[in-house]
A and B are shown apart, each in its own frame.
Chain A
């Protein structure tokens, strides 16, 4: 299968950094996921052959990490932290609010394919709890109103 030139450049640069090929697996998976949107069977087969692993080994690694997925996600992956700091600052409510607002549950995707909602473990933003992460962007000190604004903004961006 074909990846972008940028991916190929990164991959070529990365592999010789490690003593064994398989060590490059986790970052490669992340780059591939960013590019394709999820880790399809095709991606898995391709990376397995490139890194001389069995497809099973690649799947095992993917299933170990919650940030890697073999299912397609929405354009924006809304990851709401519900670990201790966020929880005591009202993260549960934020999560429920998102679920009501988007009309989907945990790890589900809106019919328009824009949003996926996910409850995640600590994202390291405890000082600004409650926090959420949309794709790679952080949103902090959340309230219901604030999250509405954020989701509106993404919706606008996604439908333009």
Chain B
């Protein structure tokens, strides 16, 4: 049956009986899924939702009336009047026998196996297995193999469910795993004989029901039950995957030992790329700063927090009072939380009295906001990408730069047959899923936008002289545009190649398509948040221009003149006009090729985890906590807000939030005017101990859901979230949903007028799957994978 996602046909219901219970499910449902709906568990190893059917493990055998033998529930489609038994003696015996066979070659090294305690084979044996084995034969043994820096394979533990083979091929479109030999000597094999050449995503390890595939990052480190698990947002690219970090106590606080998303919370389900899964290790890098440093006699010297805050506070106040706020520059981060970005924006304007605020821009959100102003529901969420009937992707290479987005697109095409239109200057991997792939000359993405919006002449630039496979002539372009205009609910995704006026062209084109929505791709985990929270010299939070009116103008009483952007701050620094510079979680010297001597005459304060190229030239360096070590919210590139939870901790560091508040305090500023804490509900909260202890919890839960719980100190980011939700357009989202760990989509409908920025002010990160800005350099896993991918065996002998 073909089912177009455009016209979802409601399938007729089918009635059947399972273990005497009446079950009704849509036609086409698999028996194993139908059983789940009435709470009947049919055990299985090889069955995995959204992967092709395998029928290999034979654990899901059930009895179906009028069928001669036991049937696999994972490959049987339900039919009317079917009578199924899942708990008869012969079914139980079949399960026992299957487990006995699987254990026949299994080494039973559970006490030292990574999967021990969270192993599906253990669980199944406990629930359905036999206590004894009739096998007398010696077990097949094979030594453990290392296939890549992150993937290890222990053949004897493998039960040949082929989940890894399928998720690598179907889910990732990498096809790096296969099955060698047959029968009892079958084994999972990597594509390069003895090693893997792949995207190192670790999906195969994650999906392995036993401990056959283990990760270099986690193996033999701990036992699953010794960790506490914290679900938070990945700190690498702009997609905002949920990652569940396994943490345990260490000498220096809480150490992160594992990342995965087995609970499938978040839009990414169980998907994570190498960065989300393994590149948390920068947090434990030995070069991590754990003491404030103050430059004394030309050298950065360890100091106390008191001394550092006092010095910074005194200097900032001095410059502001003597030279005016405009002599101070502020550079914010694309990896701090929304609360920190907002707080920094407010701190700059309200405390430092400067509009010289900027950050490392990787996408033109102000132009998008300006173009979408007043248009309801005009942005797509990450979840929409998986369900949209049609997708247009212009520029970017999501496989490398936005792995979750690529996963969503790929699996939407595979599972829902979405139509994918790809326009790119390179033959990117996603062309393999594309209904239509069009190659354009380098740097002509903007022309595509112009042409789509009706500028016929722009097509000339798109037709390249060489007739490549993917390039088309002018008629081809017109046909493509007509086809796109005929789509409905098209999701239009564009990379940072498209900026400024080209964005408004694209939005004009989208206006002619019913239900069209946009996604603008930015590179870092909170690039969108940094933009939304107004880390711009001419924009306040919510894209409100300084030269205008908004709630912020009244509450913050800001100066209307725009401040300096990053490039102009550098110029001002060179001229000696910038007396102080405050850099929070950013490395402009290392990442944006800024002359490190530009700020030699400025008092420079840097908050960072490491002595980066920027930190090394600072007068004061404050050791910062990273996104895995604090609470707050982040907004992904689509505009989906998610809760960030504190997982790890390194003693000697502070969150950027706390440092900003403490510097304001050291400047003599009333921090109540910066962070609206206090003012919570004070009342009899009931008993917190004893038989009625739940009473206090019930009060607390209700208050928290309404955002009314007491904010006890100025260091509570939730107090700033209250203010963000009160003032920033689009952030009026459901607090209960957010607290429950879901993503909440924001809207740009009511944002300010935005701004027309110089397109040159955007500097794409150009990260690959294995790099992640400055952070990536401190991840041993990413470094080792990079090295292993650089060493290519010689094709021909040297002689």
Contact = CB atoms under 8 A, between A and B. Distances in A.
Interface of A: 54-57, 59-60, 63-64
Nearest to A64: B182
Interface stretch (B173-181, B330-338, B346-354, B412-420): B173-181
B549 to A, nearest CB: 61
Nearest to B182: A64
Contacts of A54: 175, 178, 191
Given A56-B175, A56-B178, A59-B193, 9 more contacts: A54-B175, A55-B191, A57-B175, A57-B178, A60-B178, A60-B179, A63-B189, A64-B181, A64-B182
B181 A63 contact: yes
Contact of A56 (B176, B181, B182): B176
B189 A60 contact: yes
A64 B189 CA distance: 13
Contacts of A55: 191
Interface in B179-198: 179-182, 189-191, 193
A57 B169 CA distance: 11
Contacts of B180: 59-60, 63
A32 to B, nearest CB: 19
Contacts of B190: 56
Contacts of B181: 63-64
Which size bracket describes the interface of B in this complex? 10 to 19
| A-B residue pairs, 4 tightest by C-beta | A56-B191, A60-B178, A56-B178, A63-B180
A23 B193 CA distance: 23
A55 B175 CA distance: 10
A56 B178 CA distance: 6
Nearest to A55: B191
A56 B176 CA distance: 7
A130 to B, nearest CB: 25
Contact of A59 (B176, B178, B182): B178
A47 B257 CA distance: 44
A55 B181 CA distance: 15
A152 B191 CA distance: 43
A35 to B, nearest CB: 24
A57 B177 CA distance: 9
Contacts of A64: 181-182
6 contacts: A55-B191, A56-B177, A57-B178, A59-B180, A60-B189, A63-B180
Interface in B158-182: 175-182
Contacts of B179: 60
A64 B179 CA distance: 9
Q: Secondary structure of the A side of the interface? A: helix
Contacts of B178: 54, 56-57, 59-60
Contacts of B189: 56, 59-60, 63
Nearest to A41: B193
Contacts of A63: 180-182, 189
Interface string B246-272: 000000000000000000000000000
Interface string B223-263: 00000000000000000000000000000000000000000
Contacts of B175: 54, 56-57
A59 B194 CA distance: 13
A60 B180 CA distance: 5
Nearest to B191: A56
Nearest to B193: A59
A57 B190 CA distance: 10
Nearest to B190: A56
A91 B181 CA distance: 26
A57 B178 CA distance: 7
Most buried by A among B177, B178, B180, B191: B178
A63 B190 CA distance: 13
Contacts of A57: 175, 178
Contacts of A60: 178-180, 189
A15 B616 CA distance: 65
Nearest to A66: B182
Nearest to B183: A64
A151 B193 CA distance: 36
Contacts of B177: 56
Contacts of B182: 63-64
A30 B182 CA distance: 18
B507 to A, nearest CB: 40
Interface in B65-106: none
Contacts of B193: 59
Interface in B358-381: none
Contacts of B191: 54-56
Interface in B451-507: none
Most buried by A among B176, B177, B182, B190: B182
A56 B191 CA distance: 5
A55 B176 CA distance: 10
Interface in B708-767: none
B693 to A, nearest CB: 58
Contacts of A56: 175-178, 189-191
A55 B193 CA distance: 10
Interface string B191-213: 10100000000000000000000
A56 B189 CA distance: 8
Contacts of B176: 56
Contacts of A59: 178, 180, 189, 193
B632 to A, nearest CB: 44
Nearest to B176: A56
B755 to A, nearest CB: 49
A66 to B, nearest CB: 9
Nearest to A60: B178
A75 B158 CA distance: 38
A20 to B, nearest CB: 16
Nearest to B181: A63
Nearest to B175: A54
A57 B181 CA distance: 12
A54 B193 CA distance: 13
A142 B415 CA distance: 58
A54 B198 CA distance: 13
Nearest to A57: B178
A55 B197 CA distance: 12
Nearest to B169: A54
B52 to A, nearest CB: 15
Nearest to A65: B182
Most buried by A among B176, B177, B180, B190: B180
B165 to A, nearest CB: 9
Most buried by B among A55, A56, A59, A60: A56
A57 B180 CA distance: 9
B186 to A, nearest CB: 9
B665 to A, nearest CB: 61
B563 to A, nearest CB: 55
Nearest to B174: A54
Nearest to A54: B175
A68 to B, nearest CB: 12
A131 B180 CA distance: 29
A40 to B, nearest CB: 13
A63 B177 CA distance: 14
A64 B178 CA distance: 12
A155 B782 CA distance: 58
A56 B175 CA distance: 8
B194 to A, nearest CB: 12
A1 to B, nearest CB: 15
A127 to B, nearest CB: 27
A52 to B, nearest CB: 12
A82 B176 CA distance: 37
Most buried by B among A55, A57, A63, A64: A63
A57 B189 CA distance: 10
A54 B177 CA distance: 10
A55 B189 CA distance: 12
A59 B193 CA distance: 9
B31 to A, nearest CB: 29
Nearest to A61: B178
B304 to A, nearest CB: 59
A63 B179 CA distance: 9
A102 B191 CA distance: 36
